[in-house]
Structure 1
Amino acid sequence: MTLNILGLDTNKTKDIAKDLNGLLANFQTYYQNLRGIHWNIRGKNFFDLHVKFEELYTDANIKVDELAERVLTLGETPLHTFDDYLKTAKVPVGKNVSKDVDAVQLIVSSLTELLKLERQILIKSGDANDEGTNSMMSDFITQQEKTVWMMNAWLGESV
């Protein structure tokens, strides 16, 4: 087993970095969806949702940077082209979403996909003793589960 400068197995960190790049691509798609619904939201809930969507895209933008920096910390190169993002992402693309319910449902479905990916990374990073990635995924999951709960409450649905 070869260890990197962090004391982690290089084979495991390459695999984790690959998964982090996949998560990065999905977060970039999620971020762009949030920008689009922020710009295009219409209706009686405009004022509340416009502000909420800005809060969410600001948070997503921070997470994109954290993911890219974690990939670099693990010794790999982060994905950085829209072409790579589109080939890799599983998060649904929201185009011309302007209705409040559709926008919130897009957020829930996007977060559901992100949570799946994060839980897979959490397992791998735990196995690799990669506490930096593990902690990041735990924080992301905690925040996103709360957002899913809140969005479902707004929709009048349970989690």
Structure 2
Amino acid sequence: MSEEQRFWSHVRKSTNPDECWEWQGTLRNGYGEFKRHIYAHRYSYQLANGPIPNGMMIDHICFNRRCVNPQHLRLATNSQNMEHLQGAFKNNKSCGIRGVTWAKHANMWKVQVCHNYHRYRGGYFHNLAEAEQAAITLRNKVMQFNDLDRTPISNNN
């Protein structure tokens, strides 16, 4: 069995190219690991697109770390990859909304977006929904690679 055949033998591949193809083998930090120290999504990207340029990362458009579908993967700088995150950071235990935390001293929701080691303040809000919208607006202002904030949510399912 070739290396490529061995790789695909660990993938639950859908016939629909729009769906995730999930890695079924070893995981490291939630990502598939094909060979020692080789992430499965990076290997899949290289099979489909060739070498990954130095300093570049592979971003999961689908937010699924186990996905190896080449159509769900794209090149990104570290900064772009950090922009394209879903949900709040692990240290935000107050509401689960990225860029929104509870400011106990003010008894209000605080909006603050971090980008490229800078903090952008978005203000304080009594209402969580208003704080979330302010965080989205601020992220859209300072970030260009955060697709999630720019994707319209459809209720026509």
TM-score in terms of structure 1 length: 0.27
Give the number of the structure whose residues are more often helix, by fraction.
Answer: 1
TM-score in terms of structure 2 length: 0.27
Give the number of the structure whose residues are more often strand, by fraction.
Answer: 2
Instruction: Work out which structure has the larger RCO, using CA pairs closer than 8 Å and 6 or more positions apart in sequence.
Output: 1
In our comparison, the structure showing a higher alpha carbon Rg is: 2
